[in-house]
């Protein structure tokens, strides 16, 4: 990656720079996504304006101000809580978000580390958040929080499988698990002999795309799958005992993971940073912009569904995953495999 800058920097400095970029990227991405979709898009779709005053122009400072407010709050822990586990839980969730960004490419040479098992790594690391949820629920020493955490964990585990199956179809078609390789396959491919827009797997893997979106929505515990979190209407979610900056971590984790899943979906199905015909340094410059545009589109879908649909009950949610999405995913892999061999 550092050849981009044509500078001779040591291994340690490179690592430091990459770490800092990721640490800045995730909260910044969460901020942008949260502001655009959660505050502004949602408001306009609901016939209202959203924040207008903070910062002057359409309230762009709102979330930053919210973050500062959270940081300066008192750190409260429940009496019987397991202190270390309680403190570590949001960190674990946030960590899993950060780790996904290690493999997502933003240009032909802009990636932290292009692993050969990139896709496998990304999915494995995103599952770590389940542990964080359970830690949060258990350490809160609150019966309701524990039940909420168990429900959330059940949901997250159930929807890992459709996520995985959706991605396997892409891997079969691209013949590689490396994310750069998948982008290259889409950029260089052809649809019925025409290479004008490459071969974004959106067309051939349309079922996979749909499955990925639904499963990602569930992984993010967003409506229509937000029963564990909206449970706070009725009982209490697993986050009930968290205040201040720990709650901020949860929030950044939630929207940061949305950012990450949107980037993953854009890379796997929409072609990532690639535009057909643009290679080399031009791609390095345009790549992040293109990737950003595509992931904003996918995030738009996530959030649009979030505030349009009512929420499913727990048992209906599980039934959807096990009885509908997983068979569909398996069928998709079957068809992809057959077509891959046949053609």
Partner 1 sequence: MSTTENPPTPEIQLEPGALRHLAEAQVNVELDTGDMILNLGPQHPATHGTLRLVVRLDGERVVSADPIIGYMHRGYEKLTEYRTYPQITTLVNRIDWLSSFANEVPFVDAAERLMAIEAPPRAQYIRTVLTELSRISTFYLFLGEMALQVGALTPAFYGFRDREYVLNLIEGATGGRFHPNFNRIGGLKDDLPWGWISETREVMQKILDGCDVFDDLVAGNEIFQVRTKSIGIVPGELGAAYGMSGSNLRASGVDWDLRRDGRPYLVYSELDFKVWTHPDGDSFARYWVRLQETRESCRMVLQLLDQMPSGPIMAKVPRIIKVPEGEVYSEVENPLGQMGYYVVSKGATGPFRVKIRSASFSNVSIMPWLLRGVYVPDVITILASLYFILGDIDR
Alpha carbon 251 to its chain centroid, in Å, reads 13
Q: How far is the CB of 85 from partner 1 (least distance, A)?
A: 16
CB of 183 to partner 1, least distance (A): 35
In the chain, where does DSSP find H-type helix?
11-33, 42-45, 62-71, 83-100, 118-126, 128-139, 143-174, 179-188, 201-204, 206-219, 227-230, 244-269, 280-306, 314-319, 326-342
Beta carbon nearer to partner 1, 294 or 306: 306
> Whole-number minimum distance, CB 55 to partner 1, in Å?
24
Any residues with CB less than 8 A from the CB of 161 and at least 6 apart, and which?
Answer: 321, 325, 326, 329
Residue number, 97 or 222, with CB nearest to partner 1 = 222
Cα–Cα nearest to 255, from 89, 88, 67: 67
The nearest distance, CB 303 to partner 1, in angstroms, is 11
Report which DSSP code applies to 73. Answer: S
Contact predicate 32/8, CB 8 Å: no
- Give, as one character, the DSSP assignment of residue 194: B
- Comparing CB distances to partner 1, the nearer of 28 and 230 is 230
Closest CA to 222 of 293, 307, 157, 148: 307
Cβ proximity to partner 1, 47 vs 72, nearer residue: 47
Interface ranges with partner 1 (CB under 8 A) = 42, 45-48, 143, 146-147, 150, 223-224, 226-227, 230, 233-235, 307-316
Q: Count of alpha carbons within 13 Å of 170, Cβ hemisphere only?
A: 38
The dihedral of CA 184, 264, 32, 64: what is its sign?
negative
In the complex with partner 1, the residue whose CB is nearer, 13 or 46, is: 46
- The nearest distance, CB 239 to partner 1, in angstroms, is 17
Q: How many CB atoms lie within 10 A of CB 228?
A: 26
Cβ proximity to partner 1: between 14 and 43 the closer is 43
Residues linked to residue 194 through DSSP beta bridges, in sequence order: 191
Nearest approach in angstroms of CB 17 to partner 1 is: 41
Closest contact distance (angstroms) between CB of 225 and partner 1 is: 10
Closest distance of CB 315 from partner 1, Å? 8
Kindly tell me which of 5 and 48 has the beta carbon lying closer to partner 1: 48
Which residue, 48 or 193, is less far from partner 1 as judged by CB? 48
Q: In the bound complex, what is the minimum distance in angstroms from residue 148's beta carbon to partner 1? A: 12
What is the rounded distance in angstroms from the CA atom of residue 340 to the CA atom of residue 202? 16
Ordered DSSP codes for 227-269: HHHHGGGTS--TTTT--HHHHHHHHHHHHHHHHHHHHHHHHHH
Residue with Cβ nearer partner 1 (247 or 309): 309
């Amino acid at each position: 990656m550092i050849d981009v800058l044509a500078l001779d920097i040591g291994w340690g400095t490179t690592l430091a720079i990459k770490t800092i970029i990721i640490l800045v990227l995730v909260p910044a991405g969460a901020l942008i996504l949260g502001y655009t979709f959660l505050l502004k898009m949602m408001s306009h779709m609901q016939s209202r304006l959203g924040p207008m005053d903070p910062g002057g122009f359409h309230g762009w400072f709102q979330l930053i101000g919210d973050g500062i407010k959270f940081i300066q709050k008192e750190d409260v822990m429940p009496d019987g809580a397991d202190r270390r586990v309680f403190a570590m839980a949001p960190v674990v969730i946030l960590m899993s978000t950060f780790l996904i960004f290690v493999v997502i490419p933003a240009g032909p040479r802009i990636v932290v580390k292009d692993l050969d098992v990139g896709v496998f790594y990304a999915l494995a690391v995103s599952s770590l958040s389940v542990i964080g949820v359970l830690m949060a629920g258990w350490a809160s020493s609150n019966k309701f929080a524990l039940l909420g955490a168990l429900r959330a964990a059940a949901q997250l585990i159930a929807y890992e499988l459709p996520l995985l199956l959706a991605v396997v179809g892409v891997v079969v078609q691209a013949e590689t698990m490396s994310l750069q390789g998948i982008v290259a396959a889409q950029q260089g491919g052809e649809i019925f002999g025409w290479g004008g827009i490459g071969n974004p797997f959106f067309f051939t893997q349309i079922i996979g795309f749909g499955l990925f979106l639904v499963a990602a929505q569930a992984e993010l515990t967003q409506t229509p799958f937000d029963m564990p979190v909206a449970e706070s209407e009725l009982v209490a979610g697993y986050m009930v005992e968290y205040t201040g900056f720990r709650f901020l971590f949860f929030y950044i984790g939630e929207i940061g993971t949305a950012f990450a899943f949107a980037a993953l979906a854009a890379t796997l199905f929409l072609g990532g940073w690639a535009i057909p015909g643009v290679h080399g340094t031009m791609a390095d410059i345009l790549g992040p912009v293109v990737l950003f545009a595509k992931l904003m589109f996918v995030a738009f879908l996530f959030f649009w569904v979030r505030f349009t649909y009512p929420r499913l009950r727990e048992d209906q949610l599980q039934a959807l995953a096990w009885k509908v999405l997983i068979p569909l995913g398996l069928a998709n892999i079957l068809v992809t495999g057959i077509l891959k061999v046949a053609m």
